[in-house]
A and B are shown apart, each in its own frame.
Chain A
Amino acid sequence: MALLPQSGQQRTWNHWRLHTILLTAVIVMIYPLIWMVGASFKPENQIFTTLNPLPLHFTLRGYTSGWTSTGTSFTVYLANSATVAIGAVLGNLIACSLAAYAFARLDFAFRKLWFALMLGTLMLPFQATLIPQYTIFFKLNWVNTFLPLVVPQFLATDAFFIFLMVQFIRGIPRELDEAAAIDGAGHLRTFVSVILPLLRPALITTAVLTFIWTFNDFLRQLVYLSNNTRYTVPLGLNAFIDRASGSSYGDMLAMSVVSLVPTMAVFLLAQKRLVDGVANSGIKG
């Protein structure tokens, strides 16, 4: 915020100073990540000897031996995580957009009550339902399958995304719906061919965030998956820590890097949308 009209020179100088401070902050913040990537290519005995992130003796040993050293291949963990994440994304896209359309566009009995209830669940700590949900899934015999991690998404339990989409749909001019209605379109038709295409930005934000959150989620996967072959990436990584006996840091760091790759890839693809989406909607990390 420029308080007083500044001379061009002064402004340039101030900007340079600010850039220097910010870049230093960037380096401090990102350094650990860079170090981790570098260290994953270092031989075991050089990981802790230097702060220099560049590997002097480049090796892929951490990756080749880490990939299988928990007894199950990391490929399996990645495939499991992908299954769970894609299932959750589909569920959220379908169920939340349906609910959002109803809340934003339809008039029905007790709408305000249901809407308030939906907003209320936004604040609900999920530990409040963790144990009873577990008991339900246990009785259904779904423990140690991916169902408890995916089915709730198909039932629109991520209220946050409903809210996001409701806000977005309210910004879409009603004239469009009315025009469709005049053309004889029913609500399902209007939803599919008018609202959904316009809702795309919100759908992409939902897909990206659901993917990343599901991919990084730990507690629920820890609770529901107990069989090694069903482990997802976070659980596979956690298995390393249990057995890390000082000799396998290289493996552990290499697999940590692998586990960050999908998140990073999605982040790079959707960077702008994601950052804008967070800024406009305010969501947890």
Chain B
Amino acid sequence: MASAIPSSPVDRAPEHTQSTERGPAPGGPPAAGSSTEPRKARRSKHRNNRVAYAFLAPWFIGIFGFTLIPMGYSLYLSLTKFDLLTSPKWIGLANYKALWQDPQFLKSVTVTLEYVLFSVPLKLALALVVAVALNKGLGALGFYRSVFYLPSLLGTSVAVSVMWRQIFSQQGLFNQFLSWFGIRGADWIGDPRFALWTLILLSAWQFGTPMLIFLAGLKQLPRDLYEAAALDGAGRFRTFFQITLPLLSPMVFFNLVLETINAFQAFTPAYVVSGGSGGPINSTLFYTLYLYQKGFGSLQMGYASAMAWVLFLVIGVFTAIYFAMSRRFVTYAN
């Protein structure tokens, strides 16, 4: 799993580190300080074992007690029928088989994939456009950064989901706005054709985080390339697609991985907007919402564990695909 870490912008030098490396290649080992380690420390082998393990004691309890062992337990539970109150009953792969015959499960997979496929590119496109605009060296940058970031910060709260529900309800803000132009809006939340799109829009509205990351990346692009391009008479679009975008590709990649994982795990908006039901004809039955309903609504813990493992594998596969793609599309400067 460690190889699945995208090269994070952290690696590419916050102001306080004077790192000369431009972030490790994706999939490469996350340089554990090995290069910067003074030779002195290497002379005696692991002389700090006891101290280090003392410092790491809480982490060890956490990683084993609350992460690794529970994951193993969850794999076991996924092979059982378990209602929390009586002890788990072994049923082999029956839960996994049942998943593929459960129309609601299949619906939740479709809904989630649709959500990921549309919300992530939309969000990243907005983030990129605004970041490029903010990078033009105009004043009030701090103001814009903060205001555009604000929805990202508040976005996962129940309050914002409540607000969204009001905006896109039949008599809501959005329809009033449309009525200025003589358009009679639909019941966006109540109509299965549109319900998911209101949530995609809610996600796109929160483009602030990837925007900040793009902005940090844009600041590091070498100026001389742009001067050369200008001398060659390259237009604005050519410059963007042939210089900016390739140079920014590590950031695009990082944001893509991060936002995809986040989108797969979305829960609050779907729960709040649909009142926990999954919306009209299950049109907003997100994967995690269905998992919640199964696990904590009807206490089918074994079934829900199987779902959790499928999600885990799917996210793993997506990440692997991204990394395979990144070898072709991500370019690193230097």
How many residues of chain B have a CB within 8 Å of chain A?
126
Q: What is A's interface to B at a CB cutoff of 8 Å?
A: 1-4, 14-15, 18-19, 21-22, 25-26, 29-30, 32-33, 35-36, 48, 50-51, 94-95, 98-99, 101-104, 106-109, 111-112, 114-136, 138, 152, 154-157, 162-164, 167-168, 170-171, 174, 187, 191, 201, 212-213, 215-219, 222-223, 233-234, 237-238, 240-242, 249, 252-253, 256-257, 259-260, 263-264, 267, 271-272, 274-275, 278-285
Q: Which 5 pairs across A and B sit closest by C-beta, in order of nearness?
A: A155-B62, A120-B1, A116-B2, A171-B17, A132-B70
Chain A residues contacting B330 (CB-CB under 8 Å) are none
Seed contacts A107-B41, A216-B154; 4 additional CB < 8 Å A-B pairs: A115-B30, A120-B5, A155-B61, A217-B156
Contacting residues, chain B, for A217 (C-beta < 8 A): 156
Within 8 Å of chain A (Cβ to Cβ): is B111?
no
B311 near A127 with CB under 8 A, answer yes
CB A91 to nearest CB in B, in angstroms, measures 9
Which of B100-108, B162-170, B189-197 contacts its partner? B162-170
B310: min CB distance to chain A, Å: 10
Contact residues in B for A174 (Cβ distance below 8 Å) = 38
Q: Which residues of B contact A218 (CB under 8 A)?
A: 156-158, 267-268, 271-272
- Asked if B291 and A127 make an inter-chain contact with CB atoms under 8 angstroms apart, the answer reads yes
Return 28 A-B CB contacts under 8 Å, by A number: A2-B137, A15-B139, A22-B134, A29-B148, A29-B205, A30-B147, A51-B173, A107-B41, A107-B42, A108-B49, A108-B53, A116-B29, A116-B30, A117-B1, A124-B312, A127-B311, A133-B70, A135-B84, A157-B63, A170-B33, A171-B14, A187-B55, A201-B16, A216-B157, A257-B159, A267-B153, A272-B142, A275-B149
Name which of A32, A164, A191, A249 has the most chain B CB atoms within 10 A of its CB. Answer: A32
Asked whether B158 lies within 8 Å of A259 as measured between CB atoms, the reply is yes
Chain B 63-120 interface residues, beta-carbon cutoff 8 Å to A: 63, 65-67, 69-71, 73-74, 77, 84
A-B interface pairs (CB < 8 A), number = 337
Q: Are A106 and B229 in contact (CB under 8 A)?
A: no
**B interface majority secondary structure:** helix
Bound-complex Cα distance A14 to B291 (A):
51
Task: Check A171 against B10 for contact (C-beta < 8 Å).
Answer: no
A48 with B172: CB separation less than 8 A: yes
Task: Confirm or deny: B245 has a beta carbon within 8 angstroms of a beta carbon on chain A.
Answer: no
Whether A283 touches B209, Cβ cut-off 8 Å, given contacts A51-B176, A129-B67, is yes
Q: Which residues of A contact B268 (CB under 8 A)?
A: 218-219
